[in-house]
Structure 1
Amino acid sequence: MAFTLEQLRGFVAVAEELHFSRAAARLAMTQPPLSRQIQKLERVVGARLLIRDNRRVTLTAAGEVFLVEARRLLSLAETAPELARRVSSGSSGVVRVGFTAAATYGVLGRLLDELAGLLPDVDVELAELVTREQVAALVNEEIDLGLGRPPFDDSAFGSRLLHREGLLVAVPAGHHLPTLGRAATAADVVREPVIMHSPTDARYFYDLVVRTVPIAPANTVHTVGQVLTMLWLVAAGRGVAFVPESAARLRLDGVEFVRLETAVAQPVELHLVWLKASANPALWRTLSVLEGRTPFE
């Protein structure tokens, strides 16, 4: 047997008024049914909540504690329908976002600021994942939205361009490339020792670089999956690396940057990607408010 919301409201009214007649008037009812509500509530709870005599009503110790919880339960009962409606419409809820480490160099922060302004009641949870991991997490519904590198399976995923940028060559301080006074060409860097992107963990950048510069396998001195690790190795003088333009924001000591001449001026793309079959209303609301907004530059 459980208590009802009507019994809780009756108890709270009596506890606040400390008078049955005033509480009954407040609830637009007569005193006898209110007294029966309190009696039934005490039987369900298994404790005496009120001490009443002809002159006054007081709360027992159990009643004082129960009053706090009764108010909380009533508040939840009043707000739950509105919350459910907001979640159903997507104006409240949670969107879990996966992002590549390179996306944090300016783009992720701007996206979060925009979402906070447009959807203040939607909570955003973050997970750092390479694109391959994001795709798996989307399929398993562990994240709702990814910030990853194309291509994506159009039959399963929706996507839209979020950001486009150039490709830079990161070189150790004092390297001769910055003295050229122009963008570096493939011929300028083809014989340099290279810290290369992993063909598994950073497939997008690996493919982009090998399409641009015919790097000999013998010139690859390290293979890593994260841009920040590449830059630390460049600072240590281990070689040069090909990184997105936004990586220059890190301003690491011992690293300089030179633009790489490419067939397309801004070949590095970052996309929003989502599972077309997602049932999360907050995701669709997020995509709706972002629809038609220009990519971040």
Structure 2
Amino acid sequence: MYSLDQLRGFVAVAEELHFGRAAARLNMTQPPLSRQIQKLEKSIGVQLFERDNRGVALTAAGSAFLTDAVKLLELAEAAPSLARRISQGSAGFVRIGFTAASTFGLLGALLNEISSALPDVDIDLREMVTKDQTAALINGEIDLGLARPPFDEDLFDSRLLYREPMMVAVPVGHRFTRLDRLVTVEDLHGEDLIMHSPTQARYFYDLVISLVSSHPTFVHTVSQILTMIFLVAAGRGIALVPQSSTALGIEGVEYIELGGFETDPVELHAIWRREARNPALHRVLDLISGAAD
């Protein structure tokens, strides 16, 4: 097997086409350099140079080998730096699970911040509901979740990313648009409500159920907020959605804030395994902490 010193010697001679100049470039004498080249040729089983009284020239095999030799040396020189950067968290990868609704208000800005501050950290995005995120964190399939509460605080550390109001999405011209005030829970009585799925959108389902003491008529049950708003635009009913949904800009829909809360009721958290050891993850968490502060 050949050594990196042999490769460096070969590249120097190939570029200089002169053993004396190549030896001087490598701060060595010519005889040991010649022995390095001979050992390299013996190791790989081909002649790399034509030697005669007029000088040195690469063989066809030598020309082909030169391209790969340069790449191997570049990789060998870059490897220690890459290992250090991965250890420090400035390079590597982070797998992020996210809910569909989190893309409306946070995900894009977060990815832009990571790309700007940590350009050598690759992000792998995986859309999944909160219960699937927690399972994926436990199984080591993702590093970070953008999820809704509740979650096991013994297993997961977390950071509140933001709170937002709950909005009532209604068709244009609905009576709620003429109230000139926030909608109350009592106003919802008698309305046809497009409802969140109790399995695929459990967080919002539980939140809405906790708000609506006397249930309106649930005319449709769907898992995606985008679908809900399209149904509202079609006049199929009204829906309770997070404020970030207003960024979707779907025509035929108006939004009025649902009042009656001491704090904005909709929460999104960053969650991760307490024993997580990925250095790049902790650099991303530092960014999140800075943004929160």
* Shared fold per TM-score greater than 0.5: yes
Query: 1:121, CA displacement in angstroms?
Result: 2.3
Local SS of the residue matching 2:154 = coil
- Report the equivalent of 2:157: 158
Report the equivalent of 2:233.
235
Q: Per the alignment, do residues 242 and 12 of structure 1 end up closer, same or farther by CA in structure 2, a change over 3 Å counting?
A: same
1:47-83 CA distance string (max 9 Å, x none): 2211111211111122111111111110111110111
Residue matched to 2:277: 279
**Paired position in structure 2 for 1:61:** 60
| 1:139-288 mapped onto 2 (5 Å cutoff) | 139-216=138-215, 219-288=217-286
> Quick one: distance in 2 between partners of 1:123 and 1:190?
48
Quote how far apart the aligned CAs of 1:127 are. 1.2
Task: Report the more deviating stretch, 245-254 or 261-270.
Answer: 261-270
Q: 2:71 & 2:238 partners in 1: Cα distance? A: 61
The SS at the match of 1:291 is: helix
Match of 2:287 in 1: 289
Shift of 1:206: 0.9
- The alpha carbon displacement at 1:95 in A equals 1.0
SS in 1 for 2:268: strand
Which contiguous aligned blocks of 4+ residues in structure 1 show a shift greater than 4 angstroms?
none
1:9-28 correspondence runs (5 A): 9-28=8-27
Q: Which amino acid aligns with 1:202?
A: A
- Indicate whether 1:6 and 2:20 are aligned: no
Partner secondary structure for residue 105 of structure 1 = helix
Contact 1:161 1:271 in 2 (8 A): yes
**Structure 2 letter corresponding to 1:244:** P
Give the alignment's TM-score, normalised by structure 1: 0.94
Q: Shift of the alpha carbon at 1:215?
A: 4.9
TM-score by length of 2: 0.96
SS in 2 for 1:185: coil
Identity value in percent = 60
Equivalent runs, 1:131-142 vs 2, <5 Å = 131-142=130-141
Structure 1 position 292, deviation (Å): 4.7
Q: Using the TM superposition, give the Cα deviation of residue 129 of structure 1 relative to its aligned residue in structure 2, in angstroms.
A: 1.2
Contact 1:150 1:270 in 2 (8 A): yes
Q: Is the 8 A contact 1:212 1:262 kept in 2?
A: no
What is the match of residue 37 of structure 1? 36
CA displacement 1:143-191 (0-9 Å, x = unmatched): 1111110111111101011011000011122211111111111111122
Counterparts of 1:262 and 1:82, CA distance in 2: 56
Inter-partner Cα distance in structure 1 for 2:50 and 2:193: 83
User: Which residue of the partner structure matches residue 85 of structure 2?
Assistant: 86
The answer for the alignment partner of 1:125 in structure 2 is: 124
Structure 2: distance between partners of 1:215 and 1:168: 18
Answer yes or no: is the 8 Å Cα contact 1:21–1:31 preserved in 2: yes
Cα distance in structure 2, aligned partners of 1:77 and 1:180: 70
Cα offset for 1:93?
0.9
Residues 191 and 215 in structure 1, CA contact (< 8 A), matched pair in contact too: no
Q: In the alignment, is the contact (CA less than 8 A) between 1:48 and 1:60 conserved in 2?
A: yes
* Worse-matched range after superposition: 159-168 or 281-290: 281-290
Q: Please give the alpha-carbon distance, in whole angstroms, between the structure 1 residues aligned to 2:35 and 2:84.
A: 35
Q: Is there any run of 5+ residues in structure 1 with no aligned partner, and where?
A: none
SS at 2:101 equivalent: helix
> Which deviations, in whole Å up to 9, do the C-alpha atoms of 1:76-121 show, x marking residues without a partner?
1111011101101111111111111111112111212222233232
> What's the secondary structure of 1:293's corresponding residue?
helix
Deviation at 1:11, TM superposition (A): 0.2
Distance 2:135 2:260 in 1: 31
